[in-house]
Structure 1
Amino acid sequence: MSRKPTPWDAAVFAVPTFELADAGEQTLQMAITQPGHYTVKVDPLACKKALHDYGFYYCDTLIEPYCPKARFKAFVHAEVSISKAVTFAQVQPICHGAFAHGRFQRDFNLDRVKADLRYDNWLAALLAEDKVYGVFFRGDLAGFIAVDGNILVLHALSAAYRGQGLSKCFWTAVCQACFADLEVLKSSISATNIPALNLYASLGFQFSHPVDVYHRLTP
């Protein structure tokens, strides 16, 4: 199938939303004739002429941090702790508006408020599946890190804790908990998110599988 519906996005943006399996001529032709918002991910070195010809526009470049357990560099802090006993009411204020680097936030055809709501909804779903760690400093909730399988899928810190040098300690606590059962951890981040890049590099993560992300909105 050349397109995959993403109903969680459609519910937020109130238009049909899809991820395309490829950027072939037939798939792109379909995207300009059937209404909806389309996402396609392509190799950064691939020729983008056809995408531009069919009205697709660049939104982001994603890269994959990955780290085997043996390469992980820990930064332990005695006053950092983690717990899954957190509620949506506690973490939603930290999540809402925290993802300026998100491709939906950067898409000029989409409402930024709805793009932020998309992340709120994602966080609520992850909480319902018991996949969210609250990270605490001296007992105070500082942020959250959601883990799905071996992938750190969503994370944010309260504004009060950004730039304090504690991120490595928060991530260490969650990663060490995950490494009790896993051999490799991964994530996916925007190449424009320099703080996240530096954070993952400091913990021993390396980077692979870059993809350019293009969108199109067909009315």
Structure 2
Amino acid sequence: MATTPDTTGLIDTPDLQLKWNEAPWDSVLFGFPVLQINQIEVRGPTAEADFSAFEACREQVQAGLVSCRLSHECLKESILLETRAFRFIEMVYHPEISQLQTIDLGIPLELTVSRANDIDLPVVQEIAGHAFHNERFHVDPRLDHAIGDKRYQNWATSSFKHPSQELYCVRDSQRVLAFFVTEMLADGTCYWHLNAVAPDAQGKGYGALAWRAMMHHARDTGAQRISTCIAARNHRVLNLYARLGFRFSPPEMTFHWFKEGQVD
């Protein structure tokens, strides 16, 4: 009986440590295996030679895309990746606000926050399919934007009945202005996995109102802090986080490798 090639692996040599696994949700989206490098450390001069063991595995499983996210100071690792045909795609930040129970959030706003229901889901899917433009699957010039649109639609849809994530709608009366995918972590952090304002509501001041409404909601549900991730290209929302009092930990770099001819 034929065995299925393993999409998870580890290299641990004196000169290189590398750990990877499959991103199954992206494999379904693209129609071929997608891998992600979760850990990489260049330890010595033969790291590039040792990296070839990963490339052999990548070819064996017929992966068409590999992603890797590195802390901004990992220059030896980024040079190795670029030497092996990975390309820099984006920088991301991790906004966080702490002491949520004690800081002044101002008076609660008129916007309401509630769990998404079956009627809301198509509205959320429509927003998710048109609101994102700055993230890696949209800005990589080798990718069709429709792939990025579908990825965020899938993400929002999967959160609707996720065991630990929750999908919320921010409303002005009955109109859905924005959605947030959140998760309450064991340490008291409310993590915002994904959020967006409806395209027809953007540029009208609703972003600040929606974000503040969700901050109130996080505090009311017991969160001690809020954390999230955002692409550096999304400067308007970065500025919003800064105005709301969020702080930023050091950024990370994202790299993509594509198999030549695999993606149109």
Alignment partner of 2:240 out of 194, 199, 203: 199
Question: TM-score by structure 2 length?
Answer: 0.76
- Matched-pair contact (CA < 8 Å) for 1:31–1:218: no
Shift of 1:209: 3.4
In the alignment, residue 125 of structure 1 is paired with which amino acid?
S
Q: In the alignment, is residue 13 of structure 1 matched against residue 59 of structure 2? A: no
Match of 2:87 among 22, 40, 57: 57
> Which residue of 152, 155, 158 corresponds with 1:119?
152
Q: Which residue of 2 aligns with 1:144?
A: 179
Contact 2:130 2:199 in 1 (8 A): no
Q: 1 CA distance for matches of 2:107 and 2:127?
A: 23
In structure 2, do the counterparts of structure 1 residues 112 and 73 end up closer, same or farther at CA, with 3 Å as the change threshold? farther
Q: For 1:178 and 1:18, locate their aligned partners in 2 and report how far apart those are by CA, in whole Å.
A: 33
For the pair shown, which has the larger CA radius of gyration, 1 or 2? Answer: 2
Q: What root-mean-square deviation, in Å, do the aligned CA atoms of Structure 1 and Structure 2 show?
A: 2.0
Give the residue type in structure 2 aligned to 1:17: V
Q: Which has the higher contact order (CA 8 A, sep 6+)?
A: 1
* Structure 2 residues not aligned, in runs of 5+: 1-9, 11-18, 185-189
Q: Give the direction of change, closer, same or farther, for the CA distance of 1:136–1:46 in structure 2 (3 Å limit).
A: same
The separation in 2 between residues aligned to 1:96 and 1:55, in whole angstroms, is 30
- Relative distance call for 1:203 and 1:101 in structure 2 (3 A) is same
Corresponding position of 1:40? 68
Shift of 1:107: 1.9
Query: SS of the residue aligned with 2:136?
Result: coil
Corresponding residue SS for 2:29: helix
Alignment length (residue pairs) = 219
Contact 2:72 2:250 in 1 (8 A): no
User: In the alignment, which residue of structure 2 is the partner of 1:94?
Assistant: 127
Give the TM-score of the pair, scaled to structure 1. 0.91
User: What SS does the corresponding residue of 1:204 show, helix, strand or coil?
Assistant: coil
For residue 170 of structure 1, what is the aligned residue in structure 2?
A: 210
AA aligned opposite 1:124: T
Match of 1:134 in 2: 169
1:101–1:141 distance in 2 versus 1, CA, 3 Å: same
